[in-house]
Amino acid sequence: MSLSYDVVIIGSGAGGGTMARALAPTGARILIVERGGPVPQEPENWDPAAVWKQLRYRATEKWLDATGAEFLPYTHYGLGGNTKFWGSVLYRLRREDFGAMQHADGVSPAWPIDYDTLAPWYDRAEQLYHVHGQAGADPTDPPRGPFPHAPIPHSSGMSALVTALEAQGLHPSPLPLGLIRPGEDGGCLLCDTCNSFPCRIHAKSDAEVCGVRPALEHANVELWTRASALRLVTDPSGRRIEAAEIQREGGVVRVTATRFVVSCGAVNSAALLLRSASDQHPGGLANSSGLIGRRYMAHLATMMQGFNPLKHNDTVFQKTVAINDFYLTSRGTPYPLGQIQSQGRTHGVMAQAVVPWIPLWAYDAWVARGVDWLVMSEDLPRDDNRVTVDASGRVRLHYEPNNVTAHRRLVKEWTRVLHRLGFWKVMTYSHGSRNTTHQCGTLVFGHDPTTSVLDTFCRAHDVDNLFVVDASFFPSSAAVNPGLTIIAQALRVADHIKDDMR
Ligand SMILES: Cc1cc2nc3c(=O)[nH]c(=O)nc-3n(C[C@H](O)[C@H](O)[C@H](O)COP(=O)(O)OP(=O)(O)OC[C@H]3O[C@@H](n4cnc5c(N)ncnc54)[C@H](O)[C@@H]3O)c2cc1C
Ligand code: SF4
């Protein structure tokens, strides 16, 4: 069977879902191909045991690490991709992130576009994903207008911590958050099961709710779920993709199109192009630079909890505070250290998933007296941190975290601050090198085809009708959450494709 479309979008996460919404009004015949199914709206959405113990929504596919050992990546295959599970912290990169920056363990390279180039699409991304925040409160904010929505107010407990942080000379600011009508009838409930959980009432700004669903209101857009792209096949010149081979309902379907937009996530997009090697592209599709899969980055992330046995934490929605005082070379730091944000509440079963022998009642008592933080540092691009596929097409991830010096120092700084805030003990936990949640960088964009895979509109240098709009294009990872930048660039690329269609 062979079917024909104007645009085939592969993957429905931050990049693909946004692209579908942006192109839908053009009337072009669009097919969205998504390997997972829709996440059902069900009681388990907000059940910490279902999400953290039974791993109900996680991808079951295992990847190989550099030693050949299997591991379960922290990723999700489903409609809306990983955005269904995100904390919806939707940051712009800082202006400095677009330039080259010296870090403790190396240089973070410059982007081929600057902040001002992307700024108009950041504005639109924040509108589309209902971002709440307060312009001017964060000293590292790039130049910008007001947020579309007012910031989410801190709980009284977090407000008190903000005041105490200010007394230490820090500059806490409201986290920019994508939530739909918080506190209103039928809107977001500001509950304690948001980050890492799907939203049972569709009040989180994810790529299904803000991207795919509005796109499907247009009759020209079609969605296939549980359909996985296996290979992309070029014409004899090798300059154009002719067809995608899609595994669907037990068979393989051939789909032709004028344009293909790949957005499978940084690891799977690289894997798809590597699996699409052919006589014209022996090292993988569009891989004349040899860079496909290389420069994989993932952020260095540590979860920290300040514990005070004498103080019950009554906050329900805790994820409202950001601290960027250590983001640049300021506040006495010789190099950038990274970002700190308050985290969603830890539940006893989440902690028990890490050390199972401690009884749940002990964990519950512990986490009821803890305040949770996420501490994140920039990961630097290295050619030998890379995605490859083995002979059977299976993903292999070779990854050694780097910029560890900066991250250790940030954890130390934050530990000191938490002690000064009165917490008796500070707990830390990291998924380490297996944390694939902020994966990026495997198909870097740039001007020069010998040092990048994609051009500045995310079109492959080697293949005229191939675009990639997920996190693969990042030349550096910055140290803020990647989602809004993926969305903004997808909107920018969509405008470019629209111009091209005319
Ligand atoms: C628990 C968690 C919390 C997070 N919190 C935040 C946050 O607060 N803020 C933030 O900015 N980021 C956050 N992130 C990261 C964010 O979710 C990702 O950066 C973002 O979703 C990446 O977008 P993407 O388009 O690159 O890929 P994804 O959103 O992962 O989408 C890729 C899609 O492609 C599909 N796919 C893969 N291979 C194929 C194939 N061969 N054929 C068809 N379909 C395929 C997948 O099923 C998936 O739906 C979080 C991630 C996790 C897991
Ligand atoms: S109700 Fe709000 S806080 Fe709760 S999961 Fe949904 S979006 Fe997140």
| 502 CA to centre of own chain | 32
**Closest ligand to Cα 350:** 1
Encoded tokens for 420: 């000064």
Whole-angstrom Cα distance, residue 101 to residue 377? 13
CA 66 / ligand 1 centre spacing (Å): 23
CA–CA distance, 280 with 233 (Å, rounded to integer) = 10
Cβ distance 456 to 462 under 8 Å? no
The amino acid sitting at 27 is G
Q: What is the pLDDT of residue 132?
A: 98
498 with 24: CB under 8 angstroms? no
Nearest to 74 by CA among 276, 308, 342, 353: 353
CA distances from 188 to 48, 202, 341 (A): 18, 8, 20
* 441 in contact with ligand 1, CB cutoff 6 A: no
CA dihedral (257, 259, 261, 262) positive or negative: positive
Which residue's structure tokens are 């919806």? 88
Position in ligand 2 atom list of the atom nearest CA 198 = 5
Is 315 within 8 Å of 345 (Cβ atoms)?
yes
pLDDT in tens, 12-49: 999 999 999 999 999 999 999 999 999 999 999 999 99
128 C-alpha to center of ligand 2: Å? Answer: 17
H or E element, residue 3: strand 2-10
Which residues line ligand 2 at a C-beta cut-off of 6 Å? 179, 188-191, 193-194, 197, 199, 201, 203-204
pLDDT of residue 353: 81
- 65 forms beta bridges with 397
- What pLDDT sits at residue 159? 97
Q: Tell whether ligand 1 has an atom less than 6 A from the beta carbon of residue 33.
A: yes
The answer to whether the predicted template modeling score (pTM) of the entire model surpasses 0.95 is yes
Strand partners, 377: 300
For ligand 1, whether the C-beta of 195 sits within 6 Å is yes
DSSP 52: I
In ligand 2, the atom with minimum distance to the C-alpha of 204 is 7
Residue among 428, 8, 401, 23 nearest 223 (CA)? 8
Question: What was the pLDDT predicted at 476?
Answer: 98
CA dist 143 to 112, 323, 377, Å? Answer: 19, 18, 23
208 Cα to the center of ligand 2, angstroms: 15
Nearest to 339 by CA among 163, 91, 169, 143: 91
pLDDT recorded at residue 502: 86
Q: Where are the alpha helices (DSSP H) in 230-329?
A: 266-275
Place of tokens 């030693």: 67
The set of residues, in sequence order, having a beta carbon less than 8 Å from that of 67 and lying 6+ positions away, is none
Query: Does residue 36 line the site of ligand 1, with CB under 6 A?
Result: yes
Contact status, residue 33 vs residue 8, Cβ threshold 8 Å: yes
pLDDT tens for the chain, residues 1 to 502? 569 999 999 999 999 999 999 999 999 999 999 999 999 999 999 999 999 999 999 999 999 999 999 999 999 999 999 999 999 999 999 999 999 999 999 999 999 999 999 999 999 999 999 999 999 999 999 999 999 999 999 999 999 999 999 999 999 999 999 999 999 999 999 999 999 999 999 999 999 999 999 999 999 999 999 999 999 999 999 999 999 999 999 999 999 999 999 999 999 999 999 999 999 999 999 999 999 999 999 999 999 999 999 999 999 999 999 999 999 987 788 899 999 999 999 998 988 887 888 888 988 888 999 999 999 999 999 999 999 999 999 999 999 988 999 999 999 999 999 999 999 999 998 887 778 999 999 999 999 999 999 999 999 999 999 999 999 999 999 999 999 999 999 999 999 999 999 8
Ligand 2 atom nearest to CA at 201: 6
Three-state secondary-structure class, residue 417: helix
Question: Apex CA 273: angle with CA 282 and CA 265, to 5°?
Answer: 160
Indicate which atom in ligand 2 lies nearest the CA of residue 205. Answer: 7
Which atom of ligand 1 is least distant from the CA of 207? Answer: 29
Q: Measured on CA atoms in the order 170, 176, 181, 186, is the torsion positive or negative?
A: negative
Q: What is the DSSP letter of 463?
A: -
43, 17 Cβ separation under 8 angstroms: no
Kind and range of the H or E run holding 232:
strand 227-234
Round to whole Å and give the CA distance between 47 and 51.
Answer: 6
The label of the residue with tokens 């798809």 reads 272
Cα 86 to averaged position of ligand 1 atoms, centre (Å): 9
Cα 5 to Cα 479: distance, rounded to the nearest angstrom: 38
Q: CA–CA separation, 137 vs 131, rounded Å?
A: 15
pLDDT of residue 354: 78
Pairing between β-strand 30-33 and β-strand 370-377 as defined by DSSP bridges:
unpaired
Ligand nearest to the CA of 201: 2
Strands (E), 55-204: 63-65, 70-71, 101-103, 106-108, 131-132, 173-174, 177-178
